[in-house]
Amino acid sequence: MLIARTFSELRDANKKLAGSLGLVPTMGALHEGHLALIKAARAGSGKVAASIFVNPLQFAPNEDFARYPRDEPGDLAKLASAGCDLVWLPDVATMYPEDAATTISVGGPADLWEGAARPGHFAGVATVVAKLFGQVRPQAAYFGEKDWQQVQVIRRMATDLLLSVQIVPVPTVREKDGLALSSRNRFLTPAERQAAPALYAALAQAALAIAGGTPAAEALAQAETLLAKAGMLTDYLVLVDTQSLAPLQSAIAPARIIAAARLGSVRLLDNVRV
Ligand code: AMP
């Protein structure tokens, strides 16, 4: 597995890996969800590159950039055994030189939900992903459905900026009890960890109810009650169009339920198909 930390190392690595390349962008602290993206990239692209970069631009000042988990040696071992060909490990100065003056602002699917709850978040994500595409030059890039809205935002950006990178979504990897794997789950206390699967359970139940004819508003209200019973504070829990993220009153169009809820100090995200 090649490891590049500078542009010249990345150029050398790119020459060695001639042919089609799939990219898996990550912020490290890797788990089985990230490794599923590597696996999908191996199946769909010739060679696989992963990037590890905790992107300061997508964290607001009051968010958890400083405490975001970091484990480079562990990550490299996991990537090597998952069959990754190249790891790109830029530092902040490489990604954001002092004189850099460009950020990418995505509208449409970026405006609501996570975008509204975390102003500037998707601009940070879009900017770093565009830079990673420019640096690594992949033919395809793999993103987790766990962050459903993020996938739609990246798709929108790639289409609008004619980036000619195929955006490939990969299904969410879950614990046995349904909790979506996330680098932040380690911050749950044992009691919170026990309560956390209620998010997926509530979404799955609401999706079934809506598909069975229960009015969406009623099913979503029931789900929110379940979250409150589990000690969670719902940020949003909504039925949306799968691509535009516009709210829907019923599942006549292809629909998804997306949700964010706070449990102690952790903000959990999840979503299900309806
Ligand atoms: P992160 O390191 O959290 O920025 O995530 C990097 C990529 O892994 C993103 O495309 C995420 O959507 C994806 N990812 C995170 N958790 C999961 C999961 N449980 N299942 C599938 N993909 C995931």
The per-residue pLDDT for range 74-121, each reduced to its tens digit, is: 999 999 999 999 999 999 999 999 999 999 999 999 999 999 999 999
The per-residue pLDDT for range 249-270, each reduced to its tens digit, is: 998 889 999 999 999 999 999 9
Q: Which residues line ligand 1 (CB under 6 A)?
A: 26-27, 33-34, 36-37, 143-144, 146-147, 170, 172-173, 180-183
Domains and CATH numbers, the chain: 2-170 (3.40.50.620), 183-273 (3.30.1300.10)
The per-residue pLDDT for range 116-150, each reduced to its tens digit, is: 999 999 999 999 999 999 999 999 999 999 999 99
Q: What mean pLDDT comes out for the span 183-190?
A: 96
pLDDT of residue 130: 98
> What percentage of the chain carries pLDDT values higher than 70?
100
Distance CA 199, CA 126 (A): 27
Distance in Å, CA 33 to ligand 1 centroid: 6
Amino acid letter for position 167 = I
Of 31-40, 58-67, 143-152, the one with minimum mean pLDDT is: 58-67
> How buried is residue 220: exposed, middle or buried, by Cβ count under 10 Å (0-12/13-18/19+)?
buried
Q: Nearest 10 degrees: CA dihedral of 35, 39, 45, 47?
A: 60
Distance in Å, CA 216 to ligand 1 centroid: 28
User: Rounded mean pLDDT of the chain?
Assistant: 97
Q: What mean pLDDT comes out for the span 175-186?
A: 97
Distance in Å, CA 171 to ligand 1 centroid: 10
| Residue for token pair 């769909």 | 44
Distance in Å, CA 213 to ligand 1 centroid: 32
pLDDT of residue 252: 82
Q: Which two tokens stand for residue 269?
A: 């995200």
> How buried is residue 46: exposed, middle or buried, by Cβ count under 10 Å (0-12/13-18/19+)?
middle
- The pTM assigned to this predicted structure is 0.97
pLDDT of residue 15: 93
Cβ neighbours of 254 (radius 10 Å): 11
pLDDT of residue 129: 98
Q: Which helix (H) or strand (E) holds 95?
A: helix 92-95
**Ligand 1 atom at minimal distance to the Cα of residue 183:** 3
34 in active site: yes
Pocket test for ligand 1, best of 58, 146, 200 (most atoms within 8 A of CB): 146
**Ligand 1 atom at minimal distance to the Cα of residue 34:** 8
**Ligand 1 atom at minimal distance to the Cα of residue 36:** 21
Q: Which two tokens stand for residue 167?
A: 């955006």
